[in-house]
Structure 1
Amino acid sequence: MTVVAVVVFVAAYVLIATEWTHKLLAALGGAGILLALGVTDAEHAFYSADTGIDWDVVFLLFGMMVIVGVLRRTGVFEYVAIWAAKRAKGSPLRVMILLTLITAIASAFLDNVTTVLLIAPVTLLVCDRLGINPVPFLIAEVMASNIGGAATLIGDPPNIIIASRSGLTFNDFLIHLSPLIALELVVFTLVLPRVFKGSFAVDPARVDDVLRLNEREAIEDRGLLIKSGIVLLLVFTGFVGHAFFQIAPSVVALLGAGVLVLISKVPTRDYMAGVEWQTLLFFAGLFVMVGALVKTGVIAELAGWVGSVTGGHTLFATMLVLTVSAVLSGVVDNIPYVATMSPVVHDLTQSVADPAQAHALWWALAIGADLGGNATAVGASANVVVIGLALRAGHPISFWEFTRKGLVMTAITILVAAPYLWLRYFAFS
């Protein structure tokens, strides 16, 4: 069964990467084959937290898609698009830098999927106004969201898993990871012009047109905007304080969507038109396939191998965890990977006398898993969501178009993280 799980996953991944068939067909087809052959079953695929569909992610996405669908009717995305273009004086490079920094900062305090759901429509609009290709901007923003989300406990789901297993607090993540992420964002901003070279040509006439626009005129329904703003504020409060309120982010998103639909009285067809059903189903298929790898012990074997080859050398173990996490998180979803790897890291920390160096192993796992999600088009949930939104808007992003940029950016960010871990927890510990 192990061999079958690996073969089906690899075959589906090749189909997704080469785009020989639609990614949804590849994901659902692979999941269907694994279910039909008995490699996994309904109990493991639909009801298990470790090997099944992550319904929290699915319903978080659904709820936020409904909220965004209502928000579109207010004109607020047009407002922000014009505001951003004018603040950047119409320069595409400055627009990219501004939007990526907004995305990264927001992703530290919200789920990064939620952030890209809110930023992507703005990006599409501002690029349309300037008459430029939005694809490089969307790719840059989703990478910024994965980087920014690594800064806090709540920014990326793997961090929540790590905190639960290690006992690390919100403040621990903030103190130890936010300085690195601030440095990563500086480097990220500096390399943007080179990585996305050729993406910043713009017609001066379009720039003049945008600078003459009045963003306030873009607001179409102020009453609906106020209602949406109140609901969004409550939803964001729920996201930030979900541990205190004991309410899962997915439930917060669904409650927010329900309340907003109820008080806005927007026609059903309007807000449901914004739901990316293909993206949600793709996630379901992907979760089932990755869950089969977990169920058959493939990911556990890989994680165990990391623990066996370190030989008690903490620095080597830290760098190995960082590197392997970055590589594997670009191939499989980082949530089940971190869930499987956490017990291995926990065992490794038990034999480390220096608490700072023991914590370095946890930070290596978090950084590698979070930043490694940028490596491929399916490495993180935010990547898949943005690609789905771009396709719907008529700007398809191919697997390799994303991955070519993602591999470069992942390599750069991991190369920045490695000396940070060495200097802070070993050289000057």
Structure 2
Amino acid sequence: MDVTTWLAIGIFVAVYVLIATEWVHRVAAALGGAVAMLLIGATDPEHAFFSEDAGIDWNVIFLLLGMMLIVAVLQRTGVFEYIAIWAARRARGRPYRLMVLLTVATGFLSAWLDNVTTVLLIAPVTILVCRRLGLPVVPYLVAEVMACNIGGAATLIGDPPNIMIGSRANLSFNDFLIHMAPVVVVLMIVFVLMSRVMFRKAFHHDPERAASIMELNPRDQIKDGRLLLVSGVVITAVMVSFVLHTWLHLEPSVVAISGGLLLLGVSRLNPHEVAKDVEWETLAFFAGLFVMVGALVQTGVIGELGEMAAEATSGNLLATAMTLVFGSVVPSAVIDNIPFVASVSPIVAEIVEASGGTGEAGMLWWAFALGADLAGNATIIASSANVVVTGIADREGHHISFWQFSRYGLIVTAVTVAVAGAYVWLRYFALA
């Protein structure tokens, strides 16, 4: 490796340390790292701003922006307060029961929408219901985003890495349901049981608050019935388009930004006021992160890591599958699973082809998807949904630190990836 490559690695490590220690705000660290990568020549403006493989992923940026606009309009209808009170009443104010209700709902929704859209919709509800019941917000948000990353692994559209893998390997929506959904159901059950222990300190039941919630009527929270109806129509159209995007030949980003701008236009709201509720800091953080990771792609660092993993397995399918499941964890956790999958999926395609094509070797794609998706729970920056949730939490005055998240995330990742590895071995080797 040349000097530029080593400098790029050094800059990335330094930025990661700044984000982890919070010595510098994560947005400033990411954008500063992006500028440094440009200055040393590890990347250039053409690649940083216009390359699909080694630059800002504008599809992700505009997907986030579109959904943030939808949520910003939707919150003015009072529907989040309605859902919060409904959920609290269903759980009868019991903290653990509430967490199970919210995490299971989040995991289910993330499979049929995408994990970023799901947390954008669920996080505001969670903050409201926790405040109503006097519960700590952070444990519930962390539990939800982890359930979101697990649930999103079940389908083609549930997690951005799955969309990339499906496109690269020509895998259908039904393929993901058949191969990924069974293990995701098991993982959700495991996670719900784990959450009872991991977040036990957050389960403080307040009978008085619970009783007061039971007396509220959720319907009283709706502030604008017309806007809620219009929002419902637009959101339904967006969700259906997400599911059918491969047949419609529309990128999810186009669907989201079109829906967001359409809803803003028909809402009769002041665009300036709505724009204030967009998480601009989160979008800036993503942009900086994409440029930094793109520089590592440009300099060949990520590609070399993937090739080393492929060579280490020496053509053994079981060893290759386990390498993809467990070997995807660290890089996905460190650099975000979206750019990791984008850069390594061509290597996986070559391994699959060299191992016999889409027949028996096709299961390597499922091993790869499980490793990358589940590693999204390891750190704050490992998944787009994590970054979005921490941004929302910060905005509402509930800071989630890097280590606070990782304290739970590393445990959840270790357990779920171990279960995923056992599933791959059992389904594709022991019972094949």
- Using the size of structure 2 for normalisation, the TM-score is 0.97
Q: Which residue of 2 aligns with 1:30?
A: 33
Q: Is the 8 A contact 1:70 1:270 kept in 2?
A: no
Residue 268 in structure 1 maps to residue 271 in structure 2? yes
Cross-structure match for 2:412:
409
Aligned residues of 1:356 and 1:425 also touching (Cα < 8 A)? no
Equivalent position of 2:12 in the other structure = 9
Among 238, 241, 245, the residue aligned to 2:244: 241
DSSP 3-state at the match of 1:331: helix
Matches of 1:229 and 1:190, distance apart in 2? 34
Match of 1:307 in 2: 310
CA deviation after TM superposition for structure 1 residue 359, in Å: 2.0
Pair 1:294 & 2:305 matched: no
Q: Structure 2: how far apart are the matches of 1:377 and 1:353?
A: 37
Partner Cα separation in structure 2 for residue 204 and residue 14 of structure 1: 43
The yes-or-no answer on 1:330 pairing with 2:316 is: no
TM-superposed CA distance for 1:132, in Å, is: 1.0
Q: Give 4+ residue runs of structure 1 displaced > 6 Å after superposition.
A: none
Which range moves more in the overlay, 162-171 or 209-218?
A: 162-171
How far apart are the structure 1 equivalents of 2:57 and 2:117?
16
Matched with 1:58 is: 61
Cα pair 2:338 2:383 within 8 Å, conserved: no
Amino acid at match of 1:96: M
Partner residue in 1 for 2:79: 76
Which residue identity lines up with residue 250 of structure 1 in the other structure? S
Paired residues in the alignment total: 429
- Equivalent residue letter for 2:174: N
Q: C-alpha offsets along residues 271-324 of structure 1, whole Å, 9 cap, x if unaligned?
A: 112101111100000000000000000000000001101012110110011111
Structure-1 separation of matches of 2:417 and 2:188? 12
- Tell me how far apart the structure 1 counterparts of residues 315 and 363 of structure 2 sit (CA, whole Å): 14
CA shift for structure 1 position 338: 1.2
Give the whole-Å Cα distance in 1 for the aligned partners of 2:135 and 2:361.
48
Paired residues of 1:107 and 1:148 also in contact (CA < 8 A): yes
Aligned residue number for residue 156 of structure 2: 153
Q: Which residue of the other structure, out of 364, 383, 395, is the alignment partner of 1:392? A: 395
**CA RMSD, Structure 1 to Structure 2 (Å):** 1.1
Which amino acid is the alignment partner of residue 362 of structure 1? W
1:323 partner letter: F
Residue type at the aligned position of 1:381: S
Q: Compared with structure 1, are the counterparts of its residues 354 and 296 closer, same or farther at alpha carbon in structure 2 (3 Å cutoff)? A: closer
2:227 aligns with 224
Of residues 97, 103, 106, the one that matches 2:106 is 103
Identity %: 56
Q: Residue 126 of structure 1 corresponds to which residue in structure 2?
A: 129
Q: Among residues 116, 121, 135, which one is paired with 2:138 in the alignment?
A: 135
Q: Amino acid of the residue matched to residue 188 of structure 1?
A: F
Looking at structure 2, the residues matched to 428 and 251 of structure 1 have their Cα atoms a distance apart, in angstroms, of 42
> 1:353: how far off?
4.9
Partner of 1:343, secondary structure, is helix
Offset of 1:129 from its aligned partner?
A: 0.3
**What are structure 1's unaligned runs of at least 5 residues?**
none
CA, structure 1 residues 8+118, in 2 after alignment: closer, same or farther (shift >3 Å)? same
